[in-house]
Structure 1
Amino acid sequence: MREDLTLENGRLKLTTRTRAGQMRSLIDKKNGFELIYQGDQGWKDQNPTLFPMVGSTWNDGKFVVDGKEYQMKNHGLIRYADLEGEVDGNKITYRMSSDEETRKQFPFDFEYEMSYELNDHSVTVSYQIKNPSDRDLPFSFGLHPAFRTSQNAKEQFEDFSIRFNETLKTDQLIFSADYQPVSYVPVEMDEWKLSRDDLNKYATLVFTHPNVTDAAIYYRDQKRMNVHFEGYPYLALWSHPTPSDMVCIEPWYGHADYEKKDIPFEKREGTLILKPGESFTCSYEISVPE
């Protein structure tokens, strides 16, 4: 099995790896910037797919289906899997299907596919999940791309910001480590200046039903890159509690359990249901300034 797969054009060089089909590297060749966090600081991942669960349940990933208890690791199955990948022209595609091992953790059948397509100055990442079985497929889905901030010793984490394509007017979901009832606080902002104080206070900034579709990373007033997403009910901003030169911009369809609720897996907030034979698709795009 080939470990790395690569696409390259005049502006970008993308390298992916079999573990979770993650981006291993995305280089802006114009200035030599590595845009993807290299997994070399507080967090060992880079940009896993969160399927069939975003985060975890309140009781350490345990859940019950048809009277039987199952358990998944944080963020589900794809994050820990080695996927089959191939290059076809200007596209890299990774696939994974349920099998005997996945059904020990998640008792449903699925077909998962993700692809990367390189354009002039952008990468489009697309996903498709199919239900090949004769029973409903409940699942949650989210993205977790980690982007590198500081490119050299002179650049500091706090010199960076995330600017939105319009004023973000929504609610921030506030939660606690001991699963007390969540609260929703109205927020209105044009940008978030990267702040370790905010991260220490909130752990993850989670916004519900964001009205924005773009989040751009800036070093001071210099735009480094943009993330375009549409249709996701949640947007999360995160960095590892161990100070690291990276920030995650995470569009989600669901979220972790933030309260103690004994409810069926399919009733968790944000859960999607695919009927037999149905498919779910979504995508996002990473671009650099032209």
Structure 2
Amino acid sequence: MVIENDVLRLEVSEAGGEIASLIYKKKDLEVMWQGDEKHWKGKNPTLFPIVGNTYSKDYKIDGKTYAMKNHGLIRYAILKCVKKSDDEITMELKSNEETKSQYPFDFTYQIKYKLMNDRVIITYQITNDSSRIMPFTFGLHPGFNVRHYDTGILRFACPEEATQIHIHDGVREEKVSFDHWNLSHEMIAKEQTIVYKNLKSPYVDLIMDEYKIRMTIDGFPFLALWSSDPDADFLCIEPWYGHGDFEKVDVPFEKREGMMSLSPNKSFMTSYWFEVYE
């Protein structure tokens, strides 16, 4: 499914309901990482009902053990297009026997993509179709092409006094100050994933030679930054509501940090946007 305007051409795939391609038409350049076997086959999955995974790779609900793959259900599912216009696409997944064997709740999950000039607006709606409270968390994982890492900059909207969660050599938290950092494969490789919490910036700018990307992160408690290895030319900018287990924790699934509870017949909505500019 494709929508486009004078600035952008957006293609959405049924696989995961993901962006398959985003072309910046002024320069005929692909904005989104396209995935490959060597570095990372993913592109821009959404993460529900868990970000990452539990430490043991399984969890219990009502005394029964369940397990999901890393980052939950949506990235492995086929979503259907339920609405399309010239500038908008809505993709949907309803729970089924396969999802309930991994996550025992009925739900309706929708992703809506809308183009507005140089901006892509992405809205998520998750509805609890079960008769009981549904625990979940949610995150984003968009991967952007970076053609010249040595000159790229990630600039935050305002100076930050944040907390970085180090997870590569024992879990620890550190107070850090910055307003930008130069893209560095070595820094990301050392940390495995750079995770911040308590950021103040409503958005970040990924500044590159060809163009810039401004992406909103407002309202998300955590921000992760990741690339797969030292010669992978992409950066994932990942706002999260929660996170997987960085270490072994002895708490119920619904009590993990960042987990939310959705009452029966209620919906959770969130959104973010990014725009391409020069």
TM-score scaled by structure 1?
0.92
Q: Secondary structure at the match of 1:288?
A: strand
Q: Is 1:168–1:212's contact at 8 Å kept on the other side of the alignment?
A: yes
Quote how far apart the aligned CAs of 1:176 are.
3.1
Q: Does 1:218 align with 2:207?
A: yes
8 Å CA contact 2:189, 2:230 repeated in 1? no
Q: Residue 117 of structure 1 aligns to which amino acid in structure 2?
A: K
Match of 2:249 among 261, 271, 278: 261
Q: How many residues align?
A: 276
CA distance in 1 between partners of 2:159 and 2:77 (Å): 38
Aligned mate of 2:120, from 102, 118, 123 = 123
Aligned pairs for 1:1-290 (under 5 A) are 5-40=1-36, 41-59=38-56, 61-85=57-81, 86-150=83-147, 156-176=148-168, 180=170, 182-219=171-208, 223-241=211-229, 243-289=231-277
Q: Structure 1 residue 89: deviation in Å?
A: 3.5
For structure 2, the residue ranges without an aligned partner over 5 or more in a row are none
Q: Give the Å deviation of 1:226.
A: 1.0
SS of residue paired to 2:155: strand
Cα distance between partner residues in 1 of 2:12 and 2:24:
15
Change (3 A) 1:112 1:283: same
> CA shift at 1:201, angstroms?
1.4
Q: Give the 3-state SS of the residue equivalent to 1:101 in structure 2.
A: helix
User: Does structure 2 conserve the Cα–Cα contact (< 8 Å) formed by 1:50 and 1:76?
Assistant: yes
Instruction: Name the SS for the 1:251 alignment partner.
Output: strand
* TM-score normalised according to structure 2 size: 0.96
Please, which runs of 5 or more residues in structure 1 have no aligned partner? 151-155
- How much has 1:277 moved relative to structure 2? 1.6
User: What letter is aligned with 1:282?
Assistant: T
C-alpha contact (below 8 Å) 1:42/1:240 kept by paired residues: yes
Most deviating of 140-149 and 185-194:
185-194
Query: CA–CA distance in 2 between the matches of 1:25 and 1:147?
Result: 11
Q: Output one character per residue of 1:117-147: Cα deviation in whole Å (capped at 9) or x when no partner.
A: 0011111000000112210000010000000
CA distance in 2, matches of 1:195, 1:164: 16
Contact in 2 for aligned 1:149/1:246 (Cα 8 Å) = yes
Between the aligned partners of 1:229 and 1:7, the Cα distance in structure 2 is 24
Structure 1 residue 168: deviation in Å?
Answer: 2.2
Question: Does the aligned pair in 2 maintain the 1:229–1:283 contact within 8 Å?
Answer: no
- Give identity over the alignment, percent: 42
1:184-220 C-alpha deviation (Å, 9 max, x unpaired): 1111111121112211211111001211111111125
Q: Is the 8 A contact 2:9 2:22 kept in 1?
A: yes
